[in-house]
């Protein structure tokens, strides 16, 4: 039997955490993030929340005010001597960013200010199927011009842009290895988009951005760990661990849709067989609908038309149509149970346009999921349904851009303070 190695004198033991890692964020960043999260907060409360001295908070907030990232605001009320109480808040006009979700059906965008308040949104349709990089970049320019026009700002006023696409996306490298929206593979989308629009660009998998939207603006703000499962053109998953998006060692993890649920099963669009997506995603349901509803002689029908027809037949009592949704729901239950057994999240959020098809998360489906989860004697995580549409995804892309812009601005503030 192999023995654990013992530590030699002077070598130490325990995890070697890199300086300024996610677990050791600079105090300046913690102060700014706390102010942003609270909206308005007094210095004394800020010091209390962070467990640091009021003097440290005063020094850091003075620097952040000087560089224009935060500002003092009258908080209402007065001190014992009649002076108005003062709170700190993010200076909304310091920066603005755009978030775009590029999908197989339409592209959506939002513009938000530095405090995260939406200034405008817009949407443009697109032709179905994969597009070339040049076509996609053309659409990005058109959409940005439209949404910036609605926001009353020039495109050059943007400090950053976040873009979400389905598929295998390396956020750190800005690389799209494969996406259903693109003809090409191995596309440096962040670099190409930044060169086209003249603004820093960050890209990520669209399911990660839904999780980011929930983390910044939605149900996940107060949760350290939660999962978002998206069901649309594919099946995606975003996972938040310790208030941060978890992407995996190669930044390509959390591909729930490509976990295998059936050996040698249905063909998935990734090229493999038996993926969860091949039984639950819209193209899988549409494929079943063609056979079940005898629509093989009606070529050219869009996926949306096929799905709507399938749903209407199910609502009207068609047993075959109901059976298709029931089968897809059972596979979804299996996938969700695996998420619970692997990660034990505090909450699971089901999101995406397919959530309007309530058969996918019918009572019997969720009950089956509960039966497939390990019986530990403890409560199962709650499940919430959020059918909020593509604007939620675009908000996640905006949050991605806000995070990048904030990090750059705080880095500049640190350099100025050191001079």
pTM reported for the whole predicted model: 0.87
Domain boundary among 90, 120, 135: 90
What CATH number did the domain enclosing 231 receive? 3.30.420.40
The segment with the largest mean pLDDT, out of 273-277, 375-379, 411-415, is: 273-277
Position 135 scores a pLDDT of 94
Same domain flag for 396 and 332: no
Residue 398 DSSP SS3: helix
Sheet containing 244-246: which strands, arranged edge to edge? 244-246, 235-241, 226-231, 348-351, 383-386
8 within a domain of the structure (yes/no): no
Same domain flag for 169 and 246: no
280 within a domain of the structure (yes/no): yes
167 within a domain of the structure (yes/no): yes
Same domain flag for 48 and 127: no
Same domain flag for 281 and 193: no
Same domain flag for 225 and 128: no
Position 156 scores a pLDDT of 94
Same domain flag for 243 and 136: no
Taking a C-beta distance cutoff of 8 angstroms, is the pair 57, 43 a contact? yes
Same domain flag for 232 and 367: yes
315 within a domain of the structure (yes/no): yes
366 within a domain of the structure (yes/no): yes
Residue 204, domain extent? 94-211+392-411
Pairing of strands 84-90, 118-125: unpaired
Mean pLDDT, range 174-201, rounded to an integer: 95
Which range, of 129-133, 202-206, 300-304, averages the lowest pLDDT?
300-304
Residue 179 DSSP SS3: coil
287 within a domain of the structure (yes/no): yes
Same domain flag for 109 and 161: yes
Position 357 scores a pLDDT of 78
193 within a domain of the structure (yes/no): yes
Q: Which of 191, 197, 213, 178 is nearest to 101 (CA)?
A: 213
Is pLDDT of 150 > 80? yes
Same domain flag for 226 and 310: yes
Q: Which of 251, 150, 143 is nearest to 197 (CA)?
A: 143
Q: Is residue 7 very low, low, confident or very high in pLDDT (cuts 50, 70, 90)? A: low
Same domain flag for 70 and 132: no
What CATH number did the domain enclosing 56 receive? 1.10.10.10
Mean pLDDT, range 119-129, rounded to an integer: 89
Domain boundary among 40, 67, 90: 90
Position 157 scores a pLDDT of 96
Same domain flag for 384 and 244: yes
300 within a domain of the structure (yes/no): yes
Is pLDDT of 3 > 80? no
Same domain flag for 108 and 171: yes
> In total, how many domains does the chain have?
3
Q: Which of 19, 28, 95 is nearest to 57 (CA)?
A: 28
Whole-angstrom distance, CA of residue 349 vs CA of residue 211: 9
């Amino acid at each position: 039997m192999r023995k654990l190695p013992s530590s030699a004198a002077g070598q130490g033991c325990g995890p070697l955490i890199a300086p300024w890692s996610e677990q050791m964020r600079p105090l300046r960043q913690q102060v700014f993030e706390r102010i942003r999260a609270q909206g308005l907060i007094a210095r004394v409360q800020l010091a209390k929340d962070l467990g640091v001295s009021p003097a440290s908070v005063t020094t850091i907030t003075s620097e952040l005010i000087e560089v224009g990232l935060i500002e003092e605001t009258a908080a209402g009320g007065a001190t014992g001597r009649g002076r108005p109480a003062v709170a700190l808040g993010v200076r909304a006009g310091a920066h603005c960013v755009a978030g775009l979700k590029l999908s197989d059906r339409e592209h959506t965008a939002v513009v938000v200010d530095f405090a995260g308040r939406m200034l405008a949104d817009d949407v443009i349709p697109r032709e179905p199927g994969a597009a070339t990089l040049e076509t996609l970049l053309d659409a990005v320019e058109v959409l940005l011009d439209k949404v910036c026009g609605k926001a009353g700002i020039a495109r050059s006023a943007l400090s950053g842009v976040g873009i979400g696409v389905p598929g295998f996306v390396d956020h750190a490298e800005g690389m799209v290895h494969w996406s259903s929206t693109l003809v090409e593979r191995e596309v440096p989308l962040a670099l190409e988009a930044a060169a086209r629009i003249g603004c820093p660009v960050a890209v990520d998998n669209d399911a990660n951005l839904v999780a980011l939207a929930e983390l910044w603006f939605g149900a996940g703000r107060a949760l350290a760990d939660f999962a978002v499962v998206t069901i649309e053109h594919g099946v995606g998953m975003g996972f938040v661990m310790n208030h941060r998006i978890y992407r995996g060692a190669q930044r390509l993890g959390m591909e729930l849709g490509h976990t295998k649920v059936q050996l040698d099963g249905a063909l998935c669009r990734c090229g493999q067989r038996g993926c969860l997506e091949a039984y639950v995603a819209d193209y899988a349901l549409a494929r079943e609908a063609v056979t079940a509803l005898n629509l093989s002689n009606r070529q050219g029908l869009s996926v949306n038309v096929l799905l709507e027809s399938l749903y209407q037949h199910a609502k009207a009592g068609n047993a075959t149509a109901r059976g298709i949704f029931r089968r897809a729901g059972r596979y979804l239950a299996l996938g969700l149970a695996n998420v619970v057994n692997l990660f034990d999240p505090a909450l699971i959020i089901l999101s995406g346009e397919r959530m309007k098809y309530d058969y996918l998360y019918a009572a019997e489906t969720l009950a089956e999921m509960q039966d497939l989860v390990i019986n530990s004697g403890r409560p199962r995580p709650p499940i919430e349904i959020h059918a909020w549409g593509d604007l939620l995804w675009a908000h996640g892309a905006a949050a991605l851009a806000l995070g990048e812009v904030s990090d750059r601005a705080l880095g500049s503030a640190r350099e100025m303070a050191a001079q």
